[in-house]
Structure 1
């Protein structure tokens, strides 16, 4: 059911703090403490998943560096032995596009049941919900949840279906799976975000809902410093009209700022974190010295490229 989640993590940079990413973290993402001062294991598992992170951790330091070296060679297009901002920016955008294409390819075969090169809403609905629909949800404890998911998927599918014929072309299906990357899907992204956070259903987001989407305090836990920062962000930046709530327009400004180039931000961040001699470019040795940062970067698709052979890149 991961298709039903809004995958806003694509293209988000390490330059923004975790609470800014509008990604819903569950407690079982990692058993490790989320404290960069104690290491990057939480982020490592959160981005890769526990099992895949374990696989990656089984690689020797030498093997990790050897595979990273192959990636660095691909990024260094002018073969001068260094990676500059332009090369890094181009590579990250390339990986972002490829991620989406591979994700669509992965699921296209599952849903195009009649192999006509298109996906009808009925094909998607029957493949995703057919078992539950046939059973009329009689034995399903989470009937209400699944019905909401079905309704939400149908609404998103119709929004992606530009010509309204009930059948998605590849472009339309890509917009359905990755609405955050399609300009004409902006309204549906905002609507789904509103529904996720607006717990009292009044059509707007108050401060408690805003913070509650990011942070649930544990018994006896001290409130992290970033929570106070986010409270100030809500009142001083997010709440543009100062009415104490976020409406749809303010949510759009928050989660879909039109002038943000995430790949550019990521490239700048990686150079800032990795460029020890401050010459504005990265040598192979500088990158290898910061392999823990690189592992949780879009540079390596959050580490997954390090698990692949060179031919798969």
Structure 2
């Protein structure tokens, strides 16, 4: 299993996050939930330009647009990109400023979340009252299996645990405690990493996913095991030794050999890092030929390889035509 330290750090802070529940409709319960983190992801790729521009590609276009955009011809790509740039240039001065680009990337982030909520809303709002009760969610997601006490599934205890975990997260998202989620509360349920009041759930679920011996703490073996599982005869990569050092010197602040809840919070919630702002600065730095702090259409077209990479990504569909 080969990973660079940079790839691991990016995944920790950025890419594992977003979707803890991409559950399907009615009788399909996911086999395992993904851990959530604080920041929503701009891309599912590592931000490493030496290995390609997939991160920048998805951050600029939005993950829901990237795959189909990649399938366009060069002429179609330039035409579509020109229309997108015109949308980004809100003051219509012919340039894309840092503020405009930052706003655009944040918009793409937020739209990804909204579209995900839209996708699930109609499945769970069974009585069409514009809200989702816990009973609606539970019956839609687990109802078929619950009738048989999960006897028809291979790992009965895992599904029961998932139900308990879902209920706990739903109650946390349900701020007024009425057992019914508004759209905002349901968004917090699906995307707890986006809401400050859900941070305790994010921390708790992170510990539960990594803690294998059930002591509610993370030891070094569990910490490394979450990142790296050696294959037969494989030499340990250098980054693993670096991560062990990070655990000892930086993560484990009280030097007791474990990460408790407070230390996990410092690890996965290291502060209000605005990744959209950082990406906007990065895109301008890489694309701004005349160093005037803004991007012209010609500068963007000259770096179309940076914005639009080859057909590698596996996410989403193109921007809706009515948006253009």
Q: State TM-score, norm by structure 1.
A: 0.78
Bigger share in helix: 1
Query: How many pairs were matched up?
Result: 287
Q: 1:274 aligns with which of 259, 262, 287?
A: 287
| Distance change in 2, residues 1:2/1:225 (3 Å) | same
Which secondary structure does the structure 2 equivalent of 1:280 belong to? coil
Q: 1:2 aligns with which of 22, 42, 57?
A: 22
Match of 2:209 in 1: 196
Q: Shift in Å at residue 204 of structure 1?
A: 1.2
Q: 1:113 aligns with which of 126, 130, 133?
A: 126
Match of 1:186 in 2: 199
The answer to whether the Cα contact below 8 Å between 1:10 and 1:96 also exists between their aligned partners in 2 is no
RMSD: 3.3
Superposition map of 1:134-213 within 5 A: 134-213=147-226
- In structure 2, how many angstroms separate the alpha carbons of the residues matched to 1:41 and 1:89? 18
The answer to whether the Cα contact below 8 Å between 1:276 and 1:286 also exists between their aligned partners in 2 is yes
| Distance change in 2, residues 1:41/1:97 (3 Å) | closer
Q: 1:11 aligns with which of 5, 25, 40?
A: 40
Which secondary structure does the structure 1 equivalent of 2:127 belong to? coil
The answer to whether the Cα contact below 8 Å between 1:81 and 1:283 also exists between their aligned partners in 2 is yes
Structure 2: unaligned runs, 5 residues or longer: 1-20, 24-32
Q: Shift in Å at residue 161 of structure 1?
A: 1.2
Match of 1:25 in 2: none
The answer to whether the Cα contact below 8 Å between 2:56 and 2:307 also exists between their aligned partners in 1 is no
Q: Shift in Å at residue 36 of structure 1?
A: 6.3
Q: Higher mean Cα deviation, 252-261 or 220-229?
A: 220-229
Superposition map of 1:1-313 within 5 A: 2-3=22-23, 4-6=33-35, 8=37, 11-12=40-41, 37=50, 39=52, 53=67, 55-295=68-308, 304=316, 307-312=318-323
Q: Shift in Å at residue 200 of structure 1?
A: 1.9
Q: Higher mean Cα deviation, 118-127 or 248-257?
A: 248-257
Structure 1: unaligned runs, 5 residues or longer: 19-34
- In structure 2, how many angstroms separate the alpha carbons of the residues matched to 1:112 and 1:105? 11
